[in-house]
Chains A and B, each alone.
Chain A
Amino acid sequence: MTLCAILPPQILVAIARNGTPEQRRRALATLAVSERMRGRREVRASMLVAVPTGQKRRTVYDAQHATRLPGVRVRGEGDPDSGDAAVDEAYEGAGSTYDLYFDVFGRNSIDGQGMRLDSSVHYGVDYDNAFWDGAQMVYGDGDGDLFERFTISVDVIGHELTHGVTDHAARLEYHDQPGALNESISDVFGSLVKQRVRGEKAADADWIIGEGLFTSRVRGVGLRSLKAPGSAYADPVLGNDPQPSHMDNYDRSPEDNGGVHVNSGIPSHAFYLAAVAIGGFAWERAGRIWYDALTKRLAPDSDFAAAARATQAAAADLYGSGSAEEKAVRDAWSQVGI
């Protein structure tokens, strides 16, 4: 691609933000030349504001079935497919998640400053889990009996990476209601990554987290449903999906940090209800409202009621007091008992 100085600066700035590394380099060079020619310092100023210090920087490691992290580096940014499904899914999924945050919310990676996106795959033996260790994403291969590899669902990748975003934003504590909110935010943005990859509107999406993660032996469609919490699986071995969709069924067990993976169903369902009521692509307005709350309004100890207030305030600020969006958010929380 040849970049001519005839392109208006805003287009060059857009390329500098969104293009490939080579396109970015050329756009920046062109902007610098334009600036010298025209003596327009504001071009450079806008460029410096618009172009973050970092860019998408993905690295995938192979833990080689051990538990020492990160393992052996197998794919870096711009490298071709490795041929290893787990490696390539981790790479692509991290890219799709980065793109959602950057393109839609203007956030440059996990910390907003271009943090590297490191992932390790083939962690442990028959390991039925994916996690965020505070610095990177980690994926097991599953046991093959109940679970497939954990990179198979792009929303699980979005879920793990979003734990990093939350740690750099609201820093929600990982227990009880703040913890369930932390989990819910990971499911919400994970689901948005999946919907955006598929180009699905809120009303058309399945809102399932972890679709494809179960083997054919398991009776279930995925780990969780934001649309109908409690309905994702009913299996003789795994039991029934325990998620509530209303405060009346809040799980008070102390297990799993006070049920963070169970009670997340309540705020997640509120997001689903708001997104469908608002309509269109869920990431455009409902997602922006939740992102605004996550990054500007929630605190480490925020509970569900605080999240309801934060998202309503965000909707009012973004779309106007008394707007349809604000009403949709208020009604959604009301329907889940908040």
Chain B
Amino acid sequence: MGSPIRVSVVRVGGVAGGRRTACLDTDKLDESRANELRRLVEEANIAHVSEPTIRSTRDRDRFHFTLTVQQGSFQHSLTFAEERTPEQVQPLLEMVRKEGQPDLDDTQAV
């Protein structure tokens, strides 16, 4: 099974502005959802995604996301504009946003 995985998402921007967080922890999920999270983390493989451009060129009022995966001593973050979401990251992002809880460890949250 490997060590526990924690995935957090910070969403900023949008016409409304503001900051929203969500996180999912394999330790706090039932086995099937925990396995699904592990599968999506592997699929997203964010350590090997080349950093997409953060800045929007044409789009205005889009969201920006920072996705962070923690597993043991491994921690990796990726920040990207909504319209430049890497394809392989999309399913993981969706799962955390839909099933995640607000990230209480996020100290910047207002």
Chain A interface residues toward B at CB < 8 A: 128-135, 147, 150, 156, 159-160, 163, 167, 174-175, 182, 186, 210, 213, 223-224, 238-240, 242, 253, 255-257, 260-262
Asked if residues B17 and A131 are in contact (CB atoms below 8 Å), the reply is no
Majority secondary structure, A binding face: mixed
Residues of B within 8 A of A (CB): 12-19, 54-64, 83, 108-110
Residues from chain A with a CB closer than 8 A to the CB of B12 are: 255-256
Cα of A298 to Cα of B63 in the assembled complex, Å: 26
Minimal Cβ-Cβ distance residue in B for A163: B60
B15–A130 contact, CB under 8 A? yes
Q: How far is the CA of A256 from the CA of B18 in the complex (A)?
A: 9
Nearest CB on A from B90, distance (A): 10
Interface of B is mostly: loop
Sorted nearest first, the 6 A-B pairs with minimum C-beta distance are A134-B58, A261-B17, A239-B110, A131-B61, A163-B60, A129-B14
Chain A residue with Cβ nearest B79: A255
- Apart from A159-B61, A239-B109, 12 more pairs, CB < 8 Å: A128-B14, A131-B59, A131-B61, A132-B59, A134-B57, A175-B55, A210-B16, A223-B15, A223-B16, A261-B16, A261-B18, A261-B61
Closest to B81 in A: A257
Of chain A, the residue at the smallest CB distance from B18 is A238
Output the least CB separation between B14 and chain A (Å).
4
How far does the alpha carbon of A240 sit from the alpha carbon of B15 in the complex, in Å? 16
Residue from the list B18, B55, B62 in contact with A131, Cβ < 8 A: B62
Contact A256 B110 (CB under 8 A): no
The answer for the CA separation of A150 and B58 in the assembled complex, in Å, is: 20
In the complex, are the beta carbons of B17 and A132 less than 8 A apart? no
* Interface pair B110/A174, CB less than 8 Å apart: no
B61 to nearest A CB, angstroms? Answer: 4
Q: Which of B15, B62, B83 has the most CB of A within 10 A?
A: B15
Given contacts A130-B61, A133-B59, A163-B60, contact A239 B16 (CB under 8 A): no
The chain A residue with its CB closest to the CB of B64 is A256
Q: How far is the CB of A120 from chain B (nearest CB, A)?
A: 14
Q: A129-B63, A256-B13, A257-B13 are in contact. Are A242 and B18 (CB under 8 A)?
A: yes
Q: How far is the CB of B110 from chain A (nearest CB, A)?
A: 3
Smallest CB-CB separation from A233: which chain B residue? B18
Q: How far is the CA of A150 from the CA of B61 in the complex (A)?
A: 13
Which one of B14, B18, B56, B64 lies within 8 Å of A239 (CB-CB)? B18
Residues on B with C-beta less than 8 A from A262 are 17
B17-A156 in contact (CB<8A): no
5 A–B contacts, CB within 8 A, in A order: A128-B16, A134-B60, A147-B16, A256-B13, A261-B13
Shortest distance from the beta carbon of B20 to any chain A beta carbon, whole Å: 8
Query: What are the residues of chain B within 8 A of A224 when measuring CB–CB?
Result: 17
For the complex, give the distance between the alpha carbons of A253 and B18 in Å.
12
List chain A residues, Cβ under 8 A from B15: 129-131, 150, 156, 159-160, 210, 223, 261
A128 proximity list for chain B (CB < 8 A): 14, 16
Distance in Å from the Cβ of A45 to the closest Cβ of chain B? 37
Q: Which residue of B lies closest to A132 (CB)?
A: B60
In the complex, what residue of chain A is closest to B15 when comparing beta carbons? A130
Q: Which residues of chain B come closer than 8 Å to A255, judged between CB atoms?
A: 12-13, 19, 64
Docked CA distance A159–B17 (Å): 13
Report Cα–Cα, A156/B56, bound state, in Å. 20
Shortest Cβ distance from residue B23 to the other chain A in the assembled complex, whole angstroms = 16
